[in-house]
Structure 1
Amino acid sequence: MKNIDQKTGKEVEETPVESFRGEKRKQTLDLWEMTQLNHAFGAKRVALARDDVEDPYAEVDEQSSDGSDEEIEIELANTVPSFLKGKDFKTETNDSAMTVKKNPEGSMTRVAQYGSKFMSEAKQRKLEQKREEERLKRLEERSRVNGDPLEKMMPRLNGDQARQSAYQEWQKQAKRQEYGPRSNMSIREQRESLPVFQKRADLVKLVAENDFLVVVGETGSGKTTQITQYLAEEGFAMKGVIACTQPRRVAATSVARRVAQEVGCKIGEEVGYTIRFEDVTSNKTIIKYMTDGMLQREALVDPDLTKYSVIMLDEAHERTIATDVLFALLREAVIRRKGGLKLIVTSATLDSAKFSNYFEQCPVFKIEGRTFPVKIFYTKEPELDYISSCIETVIDVHTNNPPGDILVFLTGKEEIDTCCETLVDKMSLLRGENPSIAELIILPIYSSLPSEMQTRIFEPTPAGKRKVVLATNIAETSVTIDGIYYVIDPGYVKVNAYDPKLGMDSLIVQPISRAQADQRSGRAGRTGPGICYRLYTKNAYLNEMGSNTVPEIQRQNLSYTILMLKAMGIDDVIEFNFMDKPKQNSILTALEELYILDALDENGKLTDFGQRMAFFPMEPLLSKTLIKSIEFGCSDEVITIIAMLSVPDIFYRPREKRDQADKAKARFHDYNGDHLTFLNVYNKWSDAENSRVWCQDNYIHEKSMRRAKDVRKQLIQIMDKLDRKERRPRSSIVSCMGNWDQIRKAFVSGFFKNSAKRAAVHDAEEGSYRTLVENTPVHVHPSSSLFKKHGVDHVIYHTLVLTNKEYMHCVTKIDPKWLVTYAPRFFRSVEPGNMSSKKKNEKIQPLFNRNDPKENWRLSKGRR
């Protein structure tokens, strides 16, 4: 109390305050006002100074180099090259997979658009559970500090202990170290037991007599591993290397290792593989597995592929972009070499007549697998929630049907993990109520799962138990699982679709094709007579599904493909002999992108700069950035950043230690953005001598870091080859020695099209930024170092990804003047006193709108 001695309780006289402890804060009205403005939403942040000393509490924004605070306004230059004039491709209707169409209630397309209600509820439950865990953690911390234990409350707060222990036990079993299919047969006995072994003589004879051959064989028939060995043993390797392409890197490496084991050599000797940024071959290699993209790059240097005698395009049904391009390139190469090169196209499911007609009416060779009849059941009514239906069907089959394993097809990791957790919970309750119910072994399988855990699906099911495998479309053709008698097919798949107008990739769920549905049902007939439960109506199968899957070349960005074709001397890419031609507007959009990147000239011819871009096995935006970094004197750092962008996510965020992981990640953040954050991580890892312990302490994926190191090494080798080719006296690899602006300028010169500006009026629902090209509302991804950072007006981003929002991934702050300086073909500055075309078309929003329920017009609503 005032004027009371706190010890004695007696009133004391008030003494004038003549002195005070420490230094009294200086009352500077201007400084106070500037600080308030600095914290206001939308105001330009500047460094506040007092007596030539920076205020440590003020957020500092980068000062412009010329000292001018005048804001520059830029707009699209809209320059059209001569070879694109008269082609009004931007007004064509966009029928991409991104387009949302109206569909009747219950249709498969509508269900795919709106998603699963079960999944959204599961996400909400996980969010609430996380909040509850954080609340309990705070209670425990408070009780520890205050000495007020809560042991009596904890059992009630922890929830259902039975479910928790069941889930923990399932996770514990998933981490055990006994993996891999077991077989008592020798390698020779395993090879001779495969269906393709019975057809060996006929197959070799057809290859010798025909330049083209289409082979259709069931998954597990042995075509991928055995045909190359048969041809090598019959002497085809005497004329050149026998190559086999795969659409996935994992498949190329794993199959090569298996064949090397069967041949009896070390990987890289007689049998080797080549994938992007990794070449494990030698002069001894006669059987070579590779990704289709690597063979496409070899065709760039040697169109006739003279080092090969036989090329086998495997898994052709997947119709990747590189495979479709190789169809046309190899067709012409085989014809030119007149018997010197043989081409075999293999797949589990193919429209064999279509492929035979394309490849000069070649013969079709079929390898019959071990198949049994399969009964197919449809639903009477459309299923509005396919995830919930899958779980109910698994429980129903397990409790009511005879023994036999179950295979369930889902669209991705998130759905599989949620279904696994739900099945564990439901089975723990069922077995608690009725112990006579057999145990259900729940096994996930998807591409990002560690390979040693993937192989658990091949293990024999113990007696008295049943196995359920929850898989993506990887189980359609890539793997064969013995013991499957029941298949549950909800009828959906997740595909990567590209919108050429927005320049955005999105993973979207859509109905499968009838060919995919037939392939899925066939999985139940490998071991014995089986049953397929299709969770859609027969009418949907006949009328809503397409006959075949849309080829990737018709739904992907074609810039890299067009650049490769131009580098091979194919100028008229529109009339290129594709098996299934992509839409013309996709080709023209790719040509326009290559023009603004300086890869093509006014007449559509490949420039010298474009030739150098084609030298690198990466997207044109990255290759231009790398080449321009030489001019900016920062190629060493840019190579490191590109290597980090080329590997899976390096940051590890375990569910139980998210807070610690986020704090560890924040230590690497650079205030300029994510590109320099990646550089910080790699440099710190190098300083720690590539330590595994350092990765664990900082929640970094060591495998991704080592992969980035390998990619960086390969890029340096490619740069050295380019230097030798162009006869440069000095190496192009130089360091900017800490001048990070040079790195940002290099990325602006390549990624200027991927630029965005902070929205004038911030709306959390619409997006805090808008792209400069299409004015699309976008958000900074929560994992970015610039997430919720103020004073960042212009940014570039690596990719736009549509999930629940349009997110910019890998974002970096830029100066808008750089866009005009380094992309004059694409951007121009607006003349002083004039208004940009974008502002002319803007709709003026009134400040006050009394009908707005959120009252966004209030000044207090400005900063959120």
Structure 2
Amino acid sequence: MPHEPDPPPAKRFKPGSPFFRLDKRPGGMLLPRASHAPTSLDVQRKQLPIYQARTQLINQLRQLHNAVLIGETGSGKTTQIPQYLYEAGIGRQGVIAVTQPRRVAALSLAGRVAEEKRVQLGKLVGYTVRFEDVTSSETKLKFMTDGMLLREAIGDPLLLRYTVVILDEAHERTVHTDVLFGVVKTAQRKRTEQNKVPLKVLVMSATMDVDLFSQYFNKSPVLYLEGRQHPIQIYYTKRPQSDYLQAALVSIFQIHQEAPPSHDILVFMTGQEEIEALARTCRDIAKHLPDTCVPMTVIPLYASLPPTQQLRVFQPTPKGSRKVVLSTNIAETSITISGIKYVIDTGMVKAKRYNPDSGLEVLAVQRVSKAQAWQRAGRAGREDAGFCYRLYTEEEFDNLANMTVPEIQRCNLASVVLQLLALGVPDVLNFDFMSKPSPESLRMAVEQLYILGAVEKKDEQVLLTPLGKNMACLPLEPRFSKTVLMSPDFSCTEEVLTIISLLSVDSVLYNPPARRDDVLAVRKKFISSEGDHMTLLNIYRAFRKVSGNKDWCRENFVNSRNMGLVSEVRAQLKDICIKMNMKMESSQSDLANVRRCLAHGLFMNAAELQLDGSYVALDTHQTVAIHPSSVLFQAKPAYVVFNELLHTTRCYMRDLCLVDSDWLHEAAPEYFRRKLRASRS
């Protein structure tokens, strides 16, 4: 690529800036669009690029059963196409579903479309996400997470309530999206065979492997929508950055001190802990800047934030202030945050990788793909010309993978297989996946479900057991579902629901490094020698005793937002358990029963102390260690169960619970006879 001189805006940045050159988005020059004053919703709708193609689009969609729509971010496809279909009477005899990979996108899009239609949210336009349903019998335009449509398909495999399913942000290729592709395709075929009302399927994205999607959906036509991308100037670093967090911090304040106040910044990071730590640092530094600097409003954004907190990013920035949004890849494509002029891309993302040979699932920080990098850059050009600062060199960019590996090919498939069986898929191993996982991954998933007692094998067929059917009713990982379902046998359902809810959200503990001694002193009163699960239970009980008091949370270094989310998740799980006629009992102060129940559900995540002081995971025979954040870090219990393995410098067990070897044998006698023999041989 020929070198170009630095563009004029680069001169605004101080000498010694790590950035050095401009690149252009592939696909030719992008021309700026004249800006316009804020206008009414109707006028705004008509100014979207998609409006020009409205009539042609409706005529095409009226005739097609399937279509793949590619539209630049900003073309208006997600908000307008459902409305165009409804207004044209297409699919009105049922519901038009629009699926999103993320909860925050479903919420914000439903809100926007309800506003444009001038209706109350939950009437004509509604949304359904995990643990929240804002719809009614009047709802005709329904925004939902793909996981929710999958859950509906368990009770209605033909999706007969729906006349149109729009699979949006399809390129994200989450596990749920990939399974949903197959479920929707099957429902469409069967409805035609049975002479039912036909199902129209639209697949939408800003970028994707068009041929793959078109082929999969019966060679469906591809419709291209003109976009509204403004020019973006892209800067790379001169040298590789050893610490992307430090580089992000420097870049934020470099821009903050030089750029006009109305220009907001979006920073892409990898996870909650990283985001919260950088948010605190930014706020501290901003307090000590000279008065000539504009005030800075720092807003975190990640999936486990309560919805009210997530929606803060959409609020207008106070006049004369700058908004700095620190986000995971949730802001890559799913949502549009107005005012963003600068994007800082760390080039990193947190992703799960599963190795079926070792049985090890690792959540690790890794490089983004080129497709992700372009999506991130595009966030800066939604409303006007923008700038993207990549915290990596151009050479590093050239070496990135073109596309992200679909999640279905790099995760543990036990949940997927359980869901497919609940959906009535007769041959799970040969399910019509768009990107087929390895046969070994599928076999391992079936084996795990068999060990958990969720499936049985009859004449080469895999069938759900009664326990498996109940496990599929809970929106949890199979091992957590089993733990909840076993809890009445140990008279501790209330405690187990609390613990599983605590494990289902990001950490409720807040550990500022600068106040390490204060944290340790305060936590002492909650710490249980029986492990992290019991410690978390103690903290939750104390939180409930003070009715979630915010001052109490601050004093005890508890994340009140995440605790609020735990209460919501717990209430929803309890509702499901009550509907399944489960006994709601509490073990009160007798926590041995709670630990015994955890051993029965999490026994595949068990580890045994070795003579040399190390631990071996009994399922995989992998050498593991207790994570320094665990209350058992200094202890050496003979047996523990853990929630997850985290691979950094070594393989660490996170969230541990002390268990007896007898309980493990009691939970799965044959499995442990086999495993213990192997670990000692």
Which TM class, normalised by the smaller chain length? 0.7 to 0.9
1:328 and 2:182 matched:
yes
Alignment CA distance shift 1:630-1:663 (3 Å): same
1:548 match = 403
Q: Give the C-alpha shift of residue 331 in structure 1.
A: 0.9
How do 1:453-472 and structure 2 match up within 5 A?
A: 454-455=313-314, 459=317, 472=328
Q: Output the CA distance in 2 between the equivalents of 1:567 and 1:248.
A: 23
Q: Output the CA distance in 2 between the equivalents of 1:707 and 1:406.
A: 27
Percent of aligned pairs sharing the same letter: 44
1:625 match = 483
What letter is aligned with 1:497?
Answer: R
Q: Give the C-alpha shift of residue 347 in structure 1.
A: 1.4
Alignment CA distance shift 1:191-1:459 (3 Å): farther
Q: Output the CA distance in 2 between the equivalents of 1:783 and 1:273.
A: 38
Q: Give the C-alpha shift of residue 250 in structure 1.
A: 2.1
1:749 and 2:600 matched:
yes
1:275 and 2:129 matched:
yes
Conservation of the 8 A alpha-carbon contact between 2:266 and 2:340: yes
Farther-moved stretch of structure 1 (508-517 vs 310-319): 508-517
What letter is aligned with 1:624?
Answer: K
Q: Output the CA distance in 2 between the equivalents of 1:653 and 1:573.
A: 43
How do 1:691-730 and structure 2 match up within 5 A?
A: 691=549, 694-696=552-554, 698-723=556-581
Q: Give the C-alpha shift of residue 363 in structure 1.
A: 2.2
Alignment CA distance shift 1:644-1:346 (3 Å): same
Q: 2:349 aligns with which of 493, 502, 511?
A: 493
How do 1:182-581 and structure 2 match up within 5 A?
A: 184-236=38-90, 238-338=92-192, 340-374=198-232, 409-412=268-271, 446-447=301-302, 450-451=309-310, 454-455=313-314, 459=317, 472-480=328-336, 489=345, 491-527=347-383, 540-542=396-398, 544-581=399-436
Q: Output the CA distance in 1 between the equivalents of 2:386 and 2:553.
A: 47
What letter is aligned with 2:604?
Answer: K
Q: Output the CA distance in 1 between the equivalents of 2:530 and 2:473.
A: 30
How do 1:28-39 and structure 2 match up within 5 A?
A: none
- Greater Rg, structure 1 or structure 2? 1
1:83 match = none
The alignment's C-alpha RMSD in Å is 3.8
Q: Output the CA distance in 2 between the equivalents of 1:583 and 1:312.
A: 28
Q: Give the C-alpha shift of residue 551 in structure 1.
A: 0.6
Q: Give per-residue Cα distances to partners, 1:763-787, cap 9 Å, x unaligned.
A: xxxxx43322233333333443433
Alignment CA distance shift 1:183-1:802 (3 Å): farther
Conservation of the 8 A alpha-carbon contact between 1:756 and 1:796: yes
1:594 match = 449
Q: Give per-residue Cα distances to partners, 1:565-590, cap 9 Å, x unaligned.
A: 12223242222111111122211211
Alignment CA distance shift 1:422-1:749 (3 Å): closer
Q: Give per-residue Cα distances to partners, 1:383-412, cap 9 Å, x unaligned.
A: 666566667777888899999776654445
Q: Give the C-alpha shift of residue 247 in structure 1.
A: 1.1
Secondary structure in 2 matching 1:311 = strand
Relative contact order higher in (CA < 8 Å, ≥ 6 apart): 1
1:670 and 2:528 matched:
yes
Q: Output the CA distance in 1 between the equivalents of 2:300 and 2:578.
A: 41
Q: Give the C-alpha shift of residue 613 in structure 1.
A: 1.6
Conservation of the 8 A alpha-carbon contact between 1:236 and 1:242: no
Q: Output the CA distance in 2 between the equivalents of 1:380 and 1:466.
A: 27
Conservation of the 8 A alpha-carbon contact between 1:553 and 1:582: yes
Q: Output the CA distance in 2 between the equivalents of 1:642 and 1:461.
A: 43
What letter is aligned with 2:130?
Answer: R
1:777 and 2:623 matched:
yes
Alignment CA distance shift 1:264-1:545 (3 Å): same
Q: Output the CA distance in 1 between the equivalents of 2:248 and 2:275.
A: 11
What letter is aligned with 2:411?
Answer: Q
Q: Give per-residue Cα distances to partners, 1:778-819, cap 9 Å, x unaligned.
A: 3333443433235x2211112222244433222111110111
What letter is aligned with 1:600?
Answer: V
Q: Give per-residue Cα distances to partners, 1:184-217, cap 9 Å, x unaligned.
A: 5333333333333333333333322111122222
1:815 match = 660
Farther-moved stretch of structure 1 (447-456 vs 314-323): 447-456
Alignment CA distance shift 1:369-1:776 (3 Å): same
2:638 match = 793
- Counting matched residue pairs gives 634
Q: Output the CA distance in 1 between the equivalents of 2:620 and 2:510.
A: 34
Q: Give the C-alpha shift of residue 746 in structure 1.
A: 1.7
Q: Output the CA distance in 1 between the equivalents of 2:278 and 2:537.
A: 38
Secondary structure in 2 matching 1:760 = coil
Normalising by structure 2, we get a TM-score of: 0.81
Conservation of the 8 A alpha-carbon contact between 1:440 and 1:468: no
Q: Give the C-alpha shift of residue 823 in structure 1.
A: 0.5
Q: Output the CA distance in 2 between the equivalents of 1:692 and 1:377.
A: 42
Conservation of the 8 A alpha-carbon contact between 2:58 and 2:85: yes
How do 1:69-84 and structure 2 match up within 5 A?
A: none
Secondary structure in 1 matching 2:430 = coil
Q: Output the CA distance in 2 between the equivalents of 1:481 and 1:735.
A: 45
2:6 match = none
Long gaps (5+) in structure 2 = 1-35
Conservation of the 8 A alpha-carbon contact between 1:256 and 1:289: yes
Q: Output the CA distance in 1 between the equivalents of 2:533 and 2:257.
A: 53
Long gaps (5+) in structure 1 = 1-181, 724-730, 763-767, 841-864
Secondary structure in 2 matching 1:213 = strand
Q: Give the C-alpha shift of residue 547 in structure 1.
A: 2.1
Q: Output the CA distance in 2 between the equivalents of 1:704 and 1:805.
A: 28
Q: Output the CA distance in 1 between the equivalents of 2:251 and 2:55.
A: 45
Q: Give the C-alpha shift of residue 262 in structure 1.
A: 3.2
Q: Give per-residue Cα distances to partners, 1:445-484, cap 9 Å, x unaligned.
A: 542674365347x64985xx99876654344323445666
Conservation of the 8 A alpha-carbon contact between 1:476 and 1:519: yes
Farther-moved stretch of structure 1 (379-388 vs 751-760): 379-388
Secondary structure in 1 matching 2:604 = coil
Q: Output the CA distance in 1 between the equivalents of 2:579 and 2:54.
A: 43
Conservation of the 8 A alpha-carbon contact between 2:532 and 2:631: yes
